[in-house]
Amino acid sequence: MCACSRCVRVCARARASNVQPARDTHVAAQSKLCDALRLRHSLAKGARVCLCCGCCVRHHVALGGAVRAFAVLNGYRGFYDGEWTPLLPDEVSHAHLRGGTILGSSRGGMDAPRIVDSLVKNGVNIVILIGGDGTHRGADLLHRTILARNLPITVACVPKTIDNDIGIIDRSFGFQTAVDEAVPAIQCAHTEALSAKNGIGLVKLMGREAGFIALYASLASRDVNMCLLPEAPWRMSNLLTWLEGRLERSAHAVIVVAEGAESLEQREAASGGTPFTPVSATPAAGGVAPTPAAGAPVARRTDESGNRILDDVGEHLKNAINAHFKSIGKVATLKYIDPSYIIRSSPANAADSELCARLAFNCVHGAMAGFSGFTVGTVDGVSVYLPTSVVANGKPQRVDILSRLYARLCSSTGQPSLE
């Protein structure tokens, strides 16, 4: 594997004593936070490579099935609380044709000592983890725990996040399929907006911290008038003023919002300013739900992995827009579309399918070569091995609002700054 100036060439190579003979190899594949698209494709291809020791599938019979692969279900907890499922070629031969995950997913559950004990008990030599930055942080901890105990176990990772926000690598598998599936939802919103007086089509897409899906889907559809991203600050008051003008000029509007695109009012409330309360679906007089006393504390809820639990920005926008036009006595018809689960459950397109196969082959080849504590990916189009710690602790990828890409979006939509 080559490396370029943007990545690290040398991974932590397992000591010679840690590399097991190919005919005595047990592989455990585990997914965390991988409800998202095309995990199954990567696992299916990876399982075949594991089962043939990194050789072509036709050599599996000659090897006598010496390499055994197991699926660890439902996240890190599956290592010590779950039942391991053998992965056989016939059982995964069609898995890549469907969406979703055959491994299941969950948040939290990282207990490195218990996981390592389970690996030793089951005689596992190679662990393949598939997931995002949280999974990589867990993998790095697991790798360091194994090194401290001087155990012959390799830890390898395949990066996976549908938001495409993992740093260093070019892209994660599933992202292009997500954009493909998001575009029809935007087209439906556009059709609905054109079918009513002052029609508004509102589409919420995935993207907690990075708005790449919303951005690329908006560029691809060419029908979006406003795209709200987590990286681009905006105020609700400015959005409503813009929307009034848009409807006066064109009598319809299409708005795409990433799920993490909180308004400045929400962010200010979270940082200790006036607390933010989402607009109620049954607003009080004036269209806005009662607001708690200024200065009251606002606690940010988190899940078991430490990720912020977000308010539903789509529902908030829908209720705020409806309440605003009702309060000023104007008619507006808003149609809200949330295609998140449709996107997540869709089969991979050709580009993502090819990337899955490439990542799976490279992951197994690296593990069989004796590398440990690494993740696979492409950087500037070149396949590379990266230290898991670099990916886990590196800067995540975000939309640069000073870039030509974002300028192209603003030119396509015609949207002004709403800050």
Q: Tens of pLDDT along 156-194?
A: 999 988 899 998 999 998 999 999 999 999 999 999 999
Cα dihedral 95, 46, 394, 311 in deg (nearest 10): 10
**Angle (CA) 187 192 198, round 5°:** 125
Q: Tell me the C-alpha distance between 303 and 295, whole Å.
A: 25
Q: Tens of pLDDT along 344-372?
A: 888 889 999 899 999 999 998 999 888 99
Nearest to 166 by CA among 106, 212, 220: 212
Query: Under a CB-based contact definition with an 8 Å cutoff, are residues 289 and 279 in contact?
Result: yes
pLDDT: is 293 or 306 the higher one? 306
The residue with tokens 């870039």 is 403
Q: What is the mean pLDDT of residues 188-205?
A: 96
Angle at which helix 39-51 crosses helix 350-368, to 10 degrees, equals 40
Q: What is the mean pLDDT of residues 209-218?
A: 96
Q: Tens of pLDDT along 45-63?
A: 433 333 333 333 333 333 3
Q: Tell me the C-alpha distance between 315 and 278, whole Å.
A: 9
Query: Under a CB-based contact definition with an 8 Å cutoff, are residues 157 and 139 in contact?
Result: yes
Hey, which bits of 271-358 come out as E strands? 333-337
Q: What is the mean pLDDT of residues 115-131?
A: 91
Domain boundaries, the chain: 16-173+348-393, 175-344
Residue 331: how many other CB atoms lie within 10 Å: 10
Which residue in 133, 163, 165, 352 is the catalytic one?
A: 163
Residues in Cβ contact with 327 at an 8 Å cutoff, skipping those fewer than 6 apart: 286, 287
**Position 125: which residue type?**
N
Structure tokens at 281: 């679906």
What is the DSSP code (8-state) at residue 307?
A: P
CATH class of domain segment(s) 16-173+348-393: alpha beta
Structure tokens at 215: 């951005």
pTM: 0.79
Candidate CATH numbers 3.40.50.300, 3.30.830.10, 1.20.1250.40, 3.40.50.460; the one for domain 175-344:
3.40.50.460
Mark whether 180 is an active-site residue.
no
Structure confidence at residue 280 (pLDDT): 41
Q: What is the mean pLDDT of residues 261-281?
A: 66
Q: What is the mean pLDDT of residues 212-227?
A: 97
Start-to-end CA distance of the chain, whole Å, equals 45
**Position 325: which residue type?**
F
**HEC secondary structure over 215-243:** HHHHHHHCCCCEEECCCCCCCHHHHHHHH
Q: Tell me the C-alpha distance between 45 and 304, whole Å.
A: 30
Rounded to the nearest integer, the mean pLDDT of the chain is 79
Q: Tell me how long the chain is.
A: 419
Q: Do domains 16-173+348-393 and 175-344 have the same CATH topology?
A: yes
The segment with the largest mean pLDDT, out of 87-96, 116-125, 235-244, 267-276, is 235-244
Report residue 42's pLDDT band, with 50, 70 and 90 as the boundaries: very low
Q: Is 417 exposed, middle or buried (0-12, 13-18, 19+ CB in 10 A)?
A: exposed
pLDDT: is 321 or 96 the higher one? 321
